[in-house]
Structure 1
Amino acid sequence: MSGDFAEAGRGVIDLLGLLAYARLVAFFRLAGDAELAPTLASKGALADLAAAEHANYRRLHDRLAELDVQPESAMEPFSVPLDAWHARTEPQSWLESLVKAYVGDGIAGDFYGKIADLCDEQTQELVRDTLVESGRAEFVASQVRSAIAEDPALAGRLSLWARRLVGEALSQAQSVASRRPELAALLGSGVRSVASEADTHAADGTEDADVSEAQAADLATVSRIFADLTESHTARLEAMGLST
């Protein structure tokens, strides 16, 4: 690992590894969804989205290599929690797969974007670019709205599915943060950085905070920030014609 990232940068490496794996999985899932799409137009649109996700994966992969980090090693710790998230949220229909790609992955992306805001400028820019969802948003919203117009009963079921995805996304974030405390510490450091110096320990032998207490505080910060990401979630539901 590059010397510049030996300590404080471990959280950045974790973030890039997490997003690289997430984008790789998104590529495979969107490619699979394209095969199930009911029309040639929707097949092509999903193929384009899958290609964009692969391009995002390559950018994150290449950035890790630039930092003298073996990309697969950075990604590997996140395979278990992300694969578990996908197993728990396996769609039962093509429409559910679209809602998952938009809502579930979207709110997770909002959360990881919050973490990126506490990183260096180059990392912020890279993460923001690889989390852009405008093309996906337009495609999913139009498909779901069209389906609901034909069968209004779908709205209730898809709304319940979207709410479940949010709950599962929160569990995913907590699982990831508990496995990789350096990642959670990025958020914790952001919160602690605004604290007054008067609140810090004096150099009397107690300046080193208890590690377990610090990690618990970081995990609490993760949960609180994730729970607060409601505005974008509500906007996604409204775009699809679903209720909160």
Structure 2
Amino acid sequence: MVANVSASDAFDDPAYRSGVVDLLGLLGLGELTGFERMAADAGLAPSLADKAALAGMAVTEFHHFERIRDRIEELGASVDEAMAPFREPLEQFHANTAPADWLEGLVKAYVGDGIAADFYREVAETVDPLTRQLVIDVLADAGHADFAVGRVRDAVAADPRLAGRLALWARRLVGEALAQAQRVAVDRDTLAALLVGGVDRPGMDLAELGQLFTRITKKHTDRMTKLGLSA
């Protein structure tokens, strides 16, 4: 969609620039929140090895946030102001999905972060190549996906009764995550403009937006299979 458009040409459009700042603000807040959550989860880890692994992943998340912060500032925007519009919906998601234990926390990170990453990658398809590459880079898995899958599968193998509870928990998570993603996509005009236009207008129509969320749901089902849980 954006192969023939340079980053410099794209940013001549103030509306496009605002949309990219919004995208980076949303992604930056997600990375900063991810750092905080992984650091907190490390405190709940059942072993020192798990604690160290999560601490290392948290550091990687913070470095991703720093890259986004630096790019937002290069675009002449304030990182606080860029993230502020998304603070309430993200806090609402976390308030509605507080995990009860270590395993629920792992499933939440794997499922919730996965859905968020899928959404960011979909939006990144509508932006200039430099912005798209930054999004792809900061969404690179720090090892948390394999870590979560391994720990959950081991726990379910040891106690199969856990599978039903964790599957129900994951279904709740996907419902909350998709609701918040749709809310952000619809309520934030600048992000909506990226989705329906992007760099080289026009972009997606309403039917294609529906297909976007269908693709995200399909990827969630694939992740549930990897966890060994039914979607």
1:227 Cα deviation from its structure 2 partner: 3.1
**Corresponding residue number in structure 2 for 1:236:** 223
Give the number of equivalent residue pairs.
Answer: 221
**How far apart in 1 are the matches of 2:190 and 2:122?**
15
**Corresponding residue number in structure 1 for 2:187:** 179
Alignment partner of 1:105 is 2:92? no
**Corresponding residue number in structure 2 for 1:166:** 174
Per the alignment, do residues 194 and 20 of structure 1 end up closer, same or farther by CA in structure 2, a change over 3 Å counting? Answer: closer
Q: Percent identity?
A: 51
Write the letter of the residue equivalent to 1:4.
Answer: D
**How far apart in 2 are the matches of 1:194 and 1:135?**
34
After superposition, the C-alpha distances for 1:186-227 in whole angstroms (9 at most, x for unaligned) are: 1112697369xxxxxxxxxxxxxxxxxxxxx66x75454123
**1:107 and 1:166 in contact (8 A); partners too:** yes
Q: What are the within-5 Å matches in structure 2 for residues 184-203 of structure 1? A: 184-189=192-197, 193=202
Alignment partner of 1:149 is 2:157? yes
User: Which of 24, 43, 51 is the aligned partner of 2:51?
Assistant: 43
**1:187 and 1:221 in contact (8 A); partners too:** no
| 2:15 aligned counterpart, secondary structure | coil
Q: What are the within-5 Å matches in structure 2 for residues 1-244 of structure 1? A: 4=12, 6-133=14-141, 135-189=143-197, 193=202, 222-244=209-231
**Corresponding residue number in structure 1 for 2:3:** none
Write the letter of the residue equivalent to 1:163.
Answer: R
Per the alignment, do residues 194 and 109 of structure 1 end up closer, same or farther by CA in structure 2, a change over 3 Å counting? Answer: closer
**2:116 and 2:177 in contact (8 A); partners too:** yes
Larger-Rg structure = 1
After superposition, the C-alpha distances for 1:101-143 in whole angstroms (9 at most, x for unaligned) are: 1111111210111001110101111101111226111100110
**How far apart in 2 are the matches of 1:107 and 1:72?**
24
User: Superposition RMSD on alpha carbons, in Å?
Assistant: 2.1
**How far apart in 1 are the matches of 2:203 and 2:29?**
32
Instruction: Give unpaired runs (5+ residues) of structure 2.
Output: 1-7
**1:26 and 1:50 in contact (8 A); partners too:** yes
Deviation >6 Å, runs of 4+ = none
Structure with the greater relative contact order (CA < 8 A, sep ≥ 6): 1 or 2? 2
After superposition, the C-alpha distances for 1:54-95 in whole angstroms (9 at most, x for unaligned) are: 011101001001111111111111111111111111111111
Instruction: Give unpaired runs (5+ residues) of structure 1.
Output: 196-216
Write the letter of the residue equivalent to 2:163.
Answer: A
**1:170 and 1:223 in contact (8 A); partners too:** no
**How far apart in 2 are the matches of 1:23 and 1:5?**
27
**1:31 and 1:50 in contact (8 A); partners too:** yes
| 1:152 aligned counterpart, secondary structure | coil
**How far apart in 1 are the matches of 2:19 and 2:221?**
29
